[in-house]
Structure formats: C-alpha cells, structure tokens
Amino acid sequence: MRIFIAQTRIKAAAPGANFKSIEAAVAQAGKESAELVVFPEMALPGYFIGDVWERPSFLKACEEFNQRIAALSGATPVIFGSVGIDPSKRNEDGRVRKFNAAFVAQNGRLLGNPALNMPFWPKTLMPNYREFDDSRHFYDLRKLALERGVPLEQLLSLVHLTLKSGQTLRIALGICEDAWSDDYSAHPYEILARAAQPDLIVNLSCSPYTAGKHVKRRKLFGKLSAAQNCPVVYVNGTGTQNVGKTIFTFDGDSGLYQSGKFYPVAPDFVSACKSIDTKNLPPAAETTPAGRTAELHTALESALSFIKEEWNLQKVVVGVSGGIDSAVSAVLHSRVYGPENVFCVNMPSQFNSALTVSAAENLARNLGCRYASVPIDTAVQLTLKQIQDVRTQGFPIPEPLPSLVQENIQARDRGARVLAGVASAMGAVFPCNANKSETTVGYSTLYGDHAGYLAPLADLWKQEIYAIANHYNTVVFGSPVIPQETINVVPSAELSAEQDVTQGKGDPLCYPYHDAIFRLWVEDWNRHSFESTLQAWDDGSLKELIGDNAARHMQQLFTSREQFAADLLRWWNAYSGMGTFKRMQAPPVLALTRRAFGFDHREAAGLPLSR
C-alpha cells in the first residue's frame, strides 16, 4: 500500500494558507498514485492559537474549509486533523462544543463516525501539562461518555475504509496524546485494538520539538507498532506556533513504523510530503541520535528561520558585547538572516575592556556583518545629572547612587535607548541575548538587556551556550569565528569596576554549579524548592542530583552549610521574586529543551521565600 504522508508546514490560525498546502499535497498524492493520504493534527486551523478558538467566525471558516478538503478527495481517502463542531451542544465554558478531531474524506465527502453520529473522530486524551491547553477549548470523548452514560469503549471504533483497489482497511485512528497514554486511566489504541485487529494504526500529531523528544517518540511508536503487530503511520507538521510568551517549533519526524523500525519521510524540520510503500520501504532511520549540541544547533537555526518567515522579518540589529551570549546570538542571526542583514552594535562605556570590545569587532568581521560602535557614557552622565537635579528638588535619593542603580541605567541605555532606537530607524528588530541561567534568577535589567523581539537563547543554560559556541567554531565553521577571547573571558556584565574582566571579575554566578541547581528548580518534573535542595544537602543526596562536575564546583564554593544555604536562599528569592516580575515583561522565549519559561512554566509573580 502506498501511503502519502503529508508533513506540511502548519500556520497558526491561518486556515486559508493551510488549505493551500493541503490542496497542493492532495494533488501531489494523486500524481504519486497514493492509496491513502494522511495530514497532521490540526493541519487546517493550526494548534496553538490561543483564544482564537472563541471566535464563531473562525470556526465557521474552518468548517467551510473542512468541506473544501472533503471536496478535494476522490477514491483515495484523505485523513486530516481539524476542529470538529457539534452545534447542538455546549462546551463547559458555555461556548459551542468543539473537538480536536480527525476527519476522513473520500469521494468528495466527510465520512460519518457511526459510534458518535458525527462526521469526525475526536481526540480522547487531552494534554494539560507544559504548554498544552487542550481541555480549555475542546470537549473530549471521556466527557462525552460520562454525559451519555455509556462506557468509553462504546464511543471508540475502528475506521472502515475501502481503498481505490477495492481493498478494505480497518484503521485505529488517534490523535497525538492518544498514543502517550501511560499516565491516563484510559488507553485509546488498546481499546481500539481490543474490538478487532486493525490493519493500520494512524496517529495525527501536532507535537512540538524539544531536545531529545525524538528518541522518546520513536521508542513509543516503535513499541506500539510491535505490540499491536501493525504498521503505524505517524504524521506531524512543521513550522512555528506560539503560546504567547513561548515559541514552539515543529520538527515533523513523520513516517512509518513497522515491527519497531522507523521509516522517516523527510529530514527533521523540513516540510515535505512523500509516499511510503509499505511493501517497498525506504531505508530505516539510524538508531543512534545526533549528540545533544548538534541537535540543538539544528533546532535553533530551523526554529529561527521559521520565525523569521512567519513574522516577516528582514533585518536584525544585534548588540554585541564581546561576551559569549551575544556572540552566539550574532552567529545564529547571521546564519539565518544572512550576514548582510545583521548589524552588530557595540555600546561601550568606561567599564568595557579593550579585550571584549575588540572581540566584538572581530566577531562581526569574521561573520561578515557590518559593525558600529555607539558609546553610552554621554547619555548615562546626562541621566545621572537629571536624577541629581531631581534630588536637589527635595526628593530623597541616596548619594552616591547605589552601584546597582547605576548599572541598570547603563543597561537600559543600551537596550531601550540605543538598540531599540537604531533597530527602529533601520526597520529592524533586535534580539534579547539572555540565556536560561540569567533568566531564571532575573540577572538582567528590564527594558535593558532583557528587551528584544525574541529571546532565542533563553531556554539554554550558560553551559549549553558555551557548547554551542564551540560546536560552531569546531564543527560548523572549522575556524574560530567566535573569537577565542570571547570563549575564554570571564562571563561579566561589565557594568562597574567590580565586574572588570581584566582583573578576572565577573558574574556572581558560578555557572557549572548554579546551572545544575537551577535545573532542579525549573526543569525537574517534580520540581525542587529551596527547602528540598537544602534537605538534599543535609541528607547527602545533592551531589547525585547535580552531578559530579557541579558537585566539584560546589565543594570549592562553600566550606559550610551556612555558606551554601545563604547562596541558595539568595538565588531562590531571585528566582521566585524579582525574577518572576522580569520574566512577565521579558520577550517571547524560543522553547528548545524542557520547561521553557513562559506558558510552559506558569508562575505567579512575587512569591519569594522571604516574603
């Protein structure tokens, strides 16, 4: 059987644009004499579209396009994901009842689902963790079973198809989470297979990329194909969609699973539609995954390139300090936007060393990007003088101003005055170069270095930023495009004499140690807290939690429990106090690993331990 797997690029809330991709794919499938065509989950409306689901006119448009897709179908069945409406019923929010559904079209019309008396097959399991918000918008089969007073089993049935050749096919049709049912009390594919042995398992997904998910996903569907002794068609889209503060990328990874092996249709992140002949399979996928840094590098560039296109961006101004984060950001933007569209701006003050300034200039030269120096001292002095004037008008202001106040004035001068001004004058955007470590504890200035159109690196720990920098120099470029000084210099904001890199002074964070601690708080599925981290120190389990390298640094940093606890409390309060306020106003984060800040890490602002 030739199955056409349509790994389409899906645009959020753009049924018109998505219909065009679907139309082209159906035409291509016809040319390739495919016997079955399968599209991803929510291939028509897009998936992460926020409360656009609450617009009746949008739903109406989707319903019309669902019919137009049906009209495209001939004898070859077309399976696609879209929103299904039951106009006679309400959702629990009082709005019209919507389902995240799979549609099956053949001979110009949508097939009916006899178990439900509806023209679609709804998703059974609704993910409600991380960035997923399905049960906000969609009714699910379990609620329907409860409402109708019947067991769930009665509502789940195989799809019976007759192909062009006359062959009949029983499909176990599910959507994304339906296959990831380990933690649920219901297992849709098992229920489906219990009634009758399916000839084919189909899973429509809209499953965002995160580092390492490939491995898990391939294992899961490989296992499913082996356990049910049945081929599995897995179809996921590509592109970028966002949940406001967090931007996700879809890597595709579609293909056929048979007897535990995986036959992909396209490289990751590439929108491609292709037939797979179950009797003449292409080469199976390698089982050894790429290393984490190489994977992240591909993901970063693919994601940024989707975003650039999606938001119709042309030019970027990157503030380059000579430090590691802005260097990786400049390289990344130069790779995706082209060096001719990236303008590097260095904004020196009296506190910036010749070392980092020349590293910044060298980086721009190595990349082939234009470069300018825009000094900030004059403006900063003016601001300080104006604050002095306010003081002389009788306002209680400490004299001299605390260093932190002066540091923040410099950072805002760079971000909100210079970068925003220059970028706006050029019709360009400017990125926020913050990494995940500083984002965690708010080691950044609002409207300063935490400003920008996107924080592409804010889901990567400082240690990962270094790894990617080295990957660029050694693997991608084969030469030190990122100057060695940038990699060697102590990480520093260079905002005061206390942060003088030429004296080896820099950030108050020891990244190899603090990154590991912050991971416990942010990324562990069962998150650690100040209390549980301290408890782990006390009971001796902390070393194992943070790993050998971090533990070595920990031993060098602290000679007593008191020292350890004081440092821990400082950063815990920064994370759950000021850090939350800064994250509320931070730019959208590109999600790459797990628990990216934003919608994937819901937080109430201002809950430090000390309050």
| Closer CB to its own copies, 56 or 291, in the complex | 56
Q: How far is CA 244 from CA 247, 562, 583, in A?
A: 7, 41, 13
- Among 583, 519, 573, CA closest to 545: 519
What are the CB-based long-range contacts (under 8 Å, 24+) for 188-191?
A: 188/124, 188/125, 188/141, 188/156, 189/224, 189/228, 191/152, 191/153, 191/156
| Closer CB to its own copies, 142 or 213, in the complex | 142
CB of 140 to its own copies, least distance (A): 11
| Closer CB to its own copies, 344 or 501, in the complex | 344
Helix (H) or strand (E) holding 483: none
Measured in degrees and rounded to the nearest 5, phi and psi for residue 96 equal -60, 150
| Closer CB to its own copies, 112 or 311, in the complex | 311
Q: Would you state the torsion angle of the CA atoms of residues 396, 398, 404, 407, taken in this order, to the nearest 10 degrees?
A: 90
| Closer CB to its own copies, 182 or 562, in the complex | 182
CB of 5 to its own copies, least distance (A): 26
| Closer CB to its own copies, 177 or 253, in the complex | 177
Helix (H) or strand (E) holding 236: strand 232-236
| Closer CB to its own copies, 23 or 524, in the complex | 524
CB of 409 to its own copies, least distance (A): 5
| Closer CB to its own copies, 23 or 92, in the complex | 92
Tokens, residue 342: 């990236």
Residue recorded with tokens 């709804």: 122
43/115 Cα distance (integer angstroms): 24
171/189 Cα distance (integer angstroms): 10
Contacts of 466 (CB under 8 A, 6+ apart): 324, 487
Q: Other CB atoms closer than 10 Å to residue 20's CB: what's the count?
A: 13
Tokens, residue 482: 């990122």
352/502 Cα distance (integer angstroms): 10
DSSP secondary structure string, 441-467? Answer: HT-S-TTTTT-SS-BTTTTS-HHHHHH
| Closer CB to its own copies, 297 or 528, in the complex | 528
CB of 20 to its own copies, least distance (A): 14
CB of 58 to its own copies, least distance (A): 6
Three-class SS state of 501: helix
93/482 Cα distance (integer angstroms): 53
CB of 271 to its own copies, least distance (A): 17
CB of 279 to its own copies, least distance (A): 39
CB of 488 to its own copies, least distance (A): 29
Burial profile 70-87: b = 16 or more Cβ within 10 angstroms, e = fewer = bebbeebbbbbbbbbbbe
| Closer CB to its own copies, 4 or 337, in the complex | 337
Q: Which residues pair with 105 in a beta bridge?
A: 78, 110
CB of 268 to its own copies, least distance (A): 23
CB of 301 to its own copies, least distance (A): 20
| Closer CB to its own copies, 54 or 301, in the complex | 54
| Closer CB to its own copies, 234 or 430, in the complex | 430
Total residues belonging to the chain = 611
| Closer CB to its own copies, 387 or 574, in the complex | 387
| Closer CB to its own copies, 527 or 570, in the complex | 527
Contacts of 459 (CB under 8 A, 6+ apart): 436, 589, 590, 591, 592, 593, 596, 597
- Among 411, 423, 455, CA closest to 585: 455
Q: Evaluate whether 44 touches 207 at the Cβ level (below 8 Å).
A: no
171/159 Cα distance (integer angstroms): 5
562/31 Cα distance (integer angstroms): 72
Burial class from Cβ neighbours inside 10 Å (0-12, 13-18, 19+) for residue 131 reads buried
| Closer CB to its own copies, 333 or 528, in the complex | 528
- Among 382, 376, 372, 387, CA closest to 351: 376
CB of 215 to its own copies, least distance (A): 18
